[in-house]
Structure 1
Amino acid sequence: MDIGFCGPGLMGAPMIRHLLRAGHIVWVWNRTREKAQALVADGARVVDTPHDLCAHAQVVFLCVSDTQAVEDVVFGSGGLLGEDRGETNAGTVRWIVDHSSIAPAATREYAARVARHGIGWVDAPVSGGVPGAQAGTLAVMAGGAAQDIAQLEPVIRAYAARVTHMGEAGAGQMTKLCNQAIVCATVAGIAEAVGLAQAAGIDAARLPQALAGGWADSVLLQTFVPRMTERGHAPLGSLRTFQKDIDTVADAARGAGAVMPVVGAVQQVLRLGAAMGLSDADLAAFIDIVRPQPNATARAITTPRQAPRA
């Protein structure tokens, strides 16, 4: 299949490589052209604008930063449909698959807009982080028409271990918000536990070993305690992404009438991190926000765990 892909960042680049290894032709666009150009050696073909993908691709995958970025890529000037310039010719494109994490309400709106051009929209946010993207073991939670997802699942399986159809458009994004509520609250809890251990004079680096197999054990515990107690780990993402997602969770909770006091507390922790200058720091920088040490703030600001922007 000829595939278009917008957004070869930390997550998108390894996903594209899996698609290429599976034998697909992949046409790539990114706002920063150098990130797309870096995949040429793997066999990717670079285009100048998202709209250029309409001449080649049957399906276009999006893996961009936020709701506004999705709207710009699909509907903006030079976008896939370029509605503001009257470029409504979708060419060969039959589906748009959005792997970004955006608001469910926006997803439903976008799905209705592209449907007028005969295009199916699948919201398909992922879980598993950069390691899952690299290993090809991502979990995909999908919203959209069942027949669209059935046709696209064999393609998505190039980088995903599981694809679960959760309902109509927007259901995938709502499921991702549930995922992010659990992940953000858990990582914040792990940071507090590491901070408590350090304040009490316990070697926090031994927590994963001590808690392995117990109720507190998890992939997140085993992943983040080493990152919170050691330097030098490759970044998994930025606190800015967590803040964006948890703000979206809070908005969705208000709309649905759901009570989420823990999410509210985590939201305030992330806002504190932003005020400390840690928005672009790695996800493990939760420890730099909550660690009860007098010089923690200064150290966090001067030597944060930096994560590159996608």
Structure 2
Amino acid sequence: MADVSTIGFGGTGLMGAAMVRRLLQAGHRVMVWNRTPEKAAALVAEGAVLAADPAELAQHCETVILCLTDTRAVEQVAFGSNGLSHRPGALRRVLDHSSISPTATRAIAQRLKEQTGADWVDAPVSGGIAGAANGALVVMAGGDAAAIEQASPALRAYARAITRMGDSGAGQVAKLCNQTVVATTLCAIAEAVSLAQRSGIDAAALSTALAGGWADSVLLQTFVPRMTTPPAQSIGALATMLKDVDNVAEAMQQAAVHAPVLMAVQERFRQGKAQGLGEADLSQIVRVAKPA
């Protein structure tokens, strides 16, 4: 029998796991699914219930939240042989925190609505793993206003702001705008760090020297230390950002936006992946700006 008060969650990687923990801490009952079940074991030990497949989430939960790697993964979870659309007993809405293309999002939303009657809300986030753990994420949402409002109590467990940007796909467009600024800024910081190092000054001091000035930002304060002292733990892979930058480039082309800066950033991230840095922390884009 469906327990509509339980929230379903698919994709318990670093970001997803942090979100699930916040949901549990807020008192929500959570049913989780992950492609590799072992990666959800710690969450089950903390009170979550493990689902055998996405279809089980849809059978038992009105709201299902996804945090997946790319478009292919999202489509498989939604429409695969044991996907959400296979057994949508309780399903009323899906919130997708994955960063995928707006075009793919609109197609997925329409298909899910036709097959199950459920709403699809694209709800990409910004703030990173630390933001999820601290309940400080910002959510950029696209889709039905009522569906977003109905899902808001769950979102507020890990988000400090939820903004509806428009209809289906609008949240993903907003995320692409976010990633345009983030990726471009990361490359600028990497080049600044390299300039400081090659000029013989203490690059690590840049975060202090520039604090409070126009160049200061969360990204500057986060990544100057990580670029000058390689981090022990990753907060995001270079290849994941490249996936987003590729989606930005596609959206720019479709919208007829002249984007020479973004094209240069895309090439920089492609160079990083070609150098074998795809799984490295985002900060290691500095190794492309300043090859060893």
Bin for the TM-score computed over the shorter chain = over 0.9
Task: Indicate yes or no: 2:11 matched with 1:7.
Answer: yes
Measured in 2, the distance between the counterparts of 1:33 and 1:199 equals 47
The 10-residue stretch of structure 1 (55-64 or 242-251) with the greater mean CA deviation from structure 2: 55-64
Q: Specify the code of the residue in structure 2 equivalent to 1:196.
A: L
Secondary structure of residue in 2 paired with 1:258: coil
Measured in 2, the distance between the counterparts of 1:46 and 1:141 equals 28
Q: Specify the code of the residue in structure 1 equivalent to 2:263.
A: G
Give the corresponding residue for 2:81.
77
Q: Specify the code of the residue in structure 2 equivalent to 1:114.
A: L
Task: Indicate yes or no: 2:169 matched with 1:170.
Answer: yes
Contact 1:239 1:270 in 2 (8 A): yes
* CA-atom RMSD in angstroms: 0.9
Deviation of the 1:231 alpha carbon? 2.8
Unaligned 5+ residue runs, structure 1? 82-86, 297-310
The 10-residue stretch of structure 1 (107-116 or 157-166) with the greater mean CA deviation from structure 2: 107-116
Measured in 2, the distance between the counterparts of 1:178 and 1:286 equals 20
Measured in 2, the distance between the counterparts of 1:198 and 1:216 equals 18
Measured in 1, the distance between the counterparts of 2:231 and 2:258 equals 38
Normalized against structure 1, the TM-score is what? 0.91
1:25 aligned to 15, 24, 29, which one?
Answer: 29
Deviation of the 1:48 alpha carbon? 1.3
Give the corresponding residue for 1:97.
95
Q: Cα deviation per residue 1:199-230 (whole Å; 9 max; x = unaligned)? A: 00010000011101100000000000000011
Aligned length, in residue pairs: 287
Give the corresponding residue for 1:300.
none
Deviation of the 1:21 alpha carbon? 1.2
Measured in 2, the distance between the counterparts of 1:149 and 1:182 equals 26
Give the corresponding residue for 1:157.
156
Deviation of the 1:154 alpha carbon? 1.6
Task: Indicate yes or no: 2:228 matched with 1:194.
Answer: no
Q: Cα deviation per residue 1:129-160 (whole Å; 9 max; x = unaligned)? A: 11101111000000001111111112100000
Deviation of the 1:96 alpha carbon? 0.5
Deviation of the 1:234 alpha carbon? 2.1
Q: Specify the code of the residue in structure 1 equivalent to 2:269.
A: L
Give the corresponding residue for 1:67.
71
1:115 aligned to 109, 113, 116, which one?
Answer: 113
Deviation of the 1:54 alpha carbon? 2.2
Measured in 1, the distance between the counterparts of 2:259 and 2:190 equals 20
Give the corresponding residue for 2:45.
41
Deviation of the 1:255 alpha carbon? 0.6
Secondary structure of residue in 2 paired with 1:141: strand
Contact 1:190 1:221 in 2 (8 A): yes
Q: Specify the code of the residue in structure 1 equivalent to 2:282.
A: L
Q: Identical aligned pairs, as a percentage?
A: 56
Q: Cα deviation per residue 1:156-208 (whole Å; 9 max; x = unaligned)? A: 00000000000000000000000000000001100000000000001000001
Measured in 2, the distance between the counterparts of 1:163 and 1:37 equals 29
Measured in 2, the distance between the counterparts of 1:274 and 1:80 equals 33
Measured in 2, the distance between the counterparts of 1:231 and 1:173 equals 31
Deviation of the 1:53 alpha carbon? 1.1
Contact 1:227 1:233 in 2 (8 A): no
Secondary structure of residue in 1 paired with 2:162: strand
Give the corresponding residue for 1:179.
178
Secondary structure of residue in 2 paired with 1:151: helix
Give the corresponding residue for 1:231.
230
Q: Cα deviation per residue 1:88-111 (whole Å; 9 max; x = unaligned)? A: x41001000000000000110111
Deviation of the 1:55 alpha carbon? 2.4
Measured in 2, the distance between the counterparts of 1:64 and 1:38 equals 18
Unaligned 5+ residue runs, structure 2? none
Q: Cα deviation per residue 1:3-55 (whole Å; 9 max; x = unaligned)? A: 11010111000100111111111111111111112211210111111111122
Task: Indicate yes or no: 2:257 matched with 1:255.
Answer: no
Secondary structure of residue in 2 paired with 1:169: coil
Q: Specify the code of the residue in structure 1 equivalent to 2:91.
A: V
The 10-residue stretch of structure 1 (98-107 or 53-62) with the greater mean CA deviation from structure 2: 53-62
Measured in 1, the distance between the counterparts of 2:27 and 2:165 equals 28
